[in-house]
Structure 1
Amino acid sequence: MLHNIILILLAPLLVLQGRYVRRVTPKLPEAAGDRDGSLGEGRRLRVLVVGDSAAAGVGVDTQSQALSGCLSRELAKQYRVDWLLIAQSGNTTEDLIQTLKQLEPCEFDVVLSSLGVNDVLSPVRVGRWKERQAVLIQLLRSQFAVKHILLTHVPPMEQFPALPQPLRWCLGQRAKAFNTRLVELSLADDDCELVNIEQALERQDMAVDGFHPGGRIYQVWGENAAGLIVRRAELLG
């Protein structure tokens, strides 16, 4: 209740700060380079990476430095990796659902999802966001036959240098609420796991816009996700 009262009182200031951030924050491009490929040798592993600007590699120059590149390189140490990236800056969970529905059905062994920041910035309610995440999970199963789904925690937005206070605090609190629902989803579904890279979010490791990951964060993210994928693959044989 107190949190809601604070938000109501701060609402005019938060709106002004939001407009200011949009105006002054540099608009970085998505990483250049291929969005699919194959590398490595051994047992075949089909990997799908989906999501928003972070999944698309905003903050680094090329896809080899971004999430898909870091993830596929790490997995290629043990597998032959066939990977595909479907991501776009600005994507909310609903945006991604609509994009995936337009694709032809195919099969992947594992999917890594990066979503939540744009939903936090939108008016969507936390409960509604959880419902859309559940729809996304079911769609990944039905359309891509995925058996292992990695959901990335919404990053701690209270640490984003681009955001002034109190907007930074408010968005951080909202991100934490979203993550609570993400934990609930993962605990209720044996096919889902969470990837948490909060420990990697140091100010000096973020992109120049103070909003997106830099190269080191993508590397830690990819390595952490790869570790979860390898462990599950070994358990399933």
Structure 2
Amino acid sequence: MIYGLVSWLLAPVALVQGMLLRSRTPRLQPPDGRPFGQVGSGSEPAYRLLVIGDSSAAGVGADHIDETVGAQLAQILHEQTGDAVSWRNAGSNSAICEEVRDHVVPNLERLPYTHIIVAAGTNDMKNFLTAKRFKKGFGGLLYALRAKWPEAAIIWSPMIDMRTVPSLPAALANILEMRARIINRKGRQLCRERYAIAAPQLQTLDSSGFSVDGFHACGKGYRFWAELLAGTILEQRDAELKSAATVAKAAE
């Protein structure tokens, strides 16, 4: 792919601009609070959510734990279905896919999650990992999740358009967007091959969805993301119900 060649030729530009950007960008931490909870009453939640991955999975950029994507997704699903929903965030700052696979997944409790949201790939992209290495890391992560939680629906979120990220200078944004397209293309392919769902790409509207560092989402941005994921989960549920109804009717 031409994006790979061009982005590697421009790697020195990305390195210099990236170092300058890092030197003036505040390093944010995940919000305080327990990274799990439940919305709605009931003995058994109908939806059990695990959000796993990098700093976005941990909710970096949000002011409060209730503003993270896991908590907001649980709230939206509860509002739209009336069901109780539990959630758990498991994010590691700066983690690439293989680190999530090797260090986060093995240390998580084996709870009966119904849906696993994978927020990973951004660090593989900005670290200029090759498509081959991303395939090994992300593909292995999908296998590890499927092996540990065989009944869960696994949903991966592709990266947003890097040219819409406020903190990135134009040249760096265009270079990183080339890398993002490589990762997104390979990620969607792996999802098709390994029984996972690639959610639609989140479309950023304006800078109001970003935190003070201009890179991570803020509470509003996590809300946009949670709404998109809720739509993906409910569409999958409706498709499964329709399929089951078709099978039952055929068996009559």
Give the TM-score of the pair, scaled to structure 1: 0.89
The answer for the alignment partner of 2:55 in structure 1 is 53
SS for the counterpart of 1:61 is coil
Match of 2:121 in 1: 116
Instruction: Give the match's secondary structure for 1:28.
Output: coil
Q: How far 1:3 moved relative to its partner? A: 5.0
Bigger drift between 214-223 and 2-11 goes to: 2-11
Q: For 2:162, which of 157, 162, 176 is the aligned residue?
A: 157
RMSD: 2.2
Structure 1 gap ranges (5+): none
Q: Residue 68 of structure 1: SS of its match in structure 2?
A: helix
Between 39-48 and 161-170, the greater mean CA deviation after superposition:
39-48
The 2-side partners of 1:128 and 1:209 are apart by 28
Indicate which of 170, 174, 180 corresponds to 1:169: 174
**1:23-71 superposed Cα distances (whole Å, 9 cap, x missing partner):** 1111122122221112224662211111111111111211211101110
Residue 185 (structure 1) aligned with residue 190 (structure 2): yes
Deviations along 1:74-122, one digit per CA (max 9) or x if unpaired, are 1122221122111121111111111212334332111011111111122
Alpha-carbon distance in structure 1 between the residues aligned to 2:230 and 2:152: 15
Relative to total residues, which structure has the larger helix share, 1 or 2? 2
Q: Aligned letter for 1:155?
A: I
Residue 219 of structure 1: how far off its partner (Å): 0.7
User: Which residue identity is paired with 2:125?
Assistant: V
Match of 2:10 in 1: 10
In the TM superposition, 1:21-36 aligns within 5 A as 21-36=21-36
Partner of 1:95: 99
Q: CA deviation at 1:123?
A: 3.7
Taking only the aligned residue pairs, the percentage that are identical comes to: 28
> Does residue 1:227 correspond to 2:231, yes or no?
yes
Deviation at 1:130, TM superposition (A): 2.1
Q: Which amino acid aligns with 1:64?
A: D
Distance 1:235 1:203, change over 3 A: same
Point out where structure 2 has 5 or more consecutive residues left out of the alignment: 242-252
1:21 is paired with a residue of what secondary structure? helix
Structure (1 or 2) with the larger CA radius of gyration: 2
| Cα distance change on mapping 1:102 and 1:232 into 2, 3 Å | same
Count of residues in correspondence between the two structures: 236
